[in-house]
Amino acid sequence: KQEVTQIPAALSVPEGENLVLNCSFTDSAIYNLQWFRQDPGKGLTSLLLIQSSQREQTSGRLNASLDKSSGRSTLYIAASQPGDSATYLCAVDLYNFNKFYFGSGTKLNVKP
């Protein structure tokens, strides 16, 4: 079974800081890895998807990297803003099963 871990569980930073969220997984036979944002009581919004053959993806101030050999992905947020405050989840799709396994998320608070 795929285990997905996200560290830290919570993070509080002042506005303007660059920050890194971590996601680790135990089975490297993945199809893709996806990062989501979730606001309180709301659904999940897809931020970035990295396919198995890729090393990173970028969208605006967000950059996600993937290292399958070490079972790790990072989400880099540049110049954080209060509007970035949310919970960030990573999900891993195993190659042979198409079942997505989720980490428990990192709750980010960006202080004005």
Partner 1 sequence: DADVTQTPRNRITKTGKRIMLECSQTKGHDRMYWYRQDPGLGLRLIYYSFDVKDINKGEISDGYSVSRQAQAKFSLSLESAIPNQTALYFCATSDRGQGVGELFFGEGSRLTVL
Q: Which residues bind partner 1 (CB under 8 A)?
A: 1, 4, 31-32, 34, 36, 41-46, 49, 51, 89, 91, 93, 98-105
Rounded to whole angstroms, how far apart are CA atoms 40 and 31?
Answer: 29
Point out which residues pair with 30 in neighbouring strands. Answer: 94
Smallest gap from Cβ 14 to partner 1, in A, equals: 26
Query: How near is the Cβ of 61 to partner 1 at its closest, in Å?
Result: 21
Closest CA to 51 of 38, 64, 40, 62: 64
CB of 65 to partner 1, least distance (A): 17
Nearest partner of 3 among 26, 19, 23, 22, judged by Cα: 26
Q: Which is nearer to partner 1, 40 or 60 (CB)?
A: 40
Query: At its nearest, how many Å lie between partner 1 and the CB of residue 111?
Result: 23
Identify which of residues 11 and 44 has a Cβ nearer to partner 1 in the complex: 44
Pairwise CA distance, residues 109 & 29, whole Å = 33
Report d(CA 20, CA 105) in Å as an integer: 13
Identity of the residue, 84 or 93, whose beta carbon is nearer to partner 1 in the bound complex: 93
CB closer to partner 1 out of 42 and 79: 42
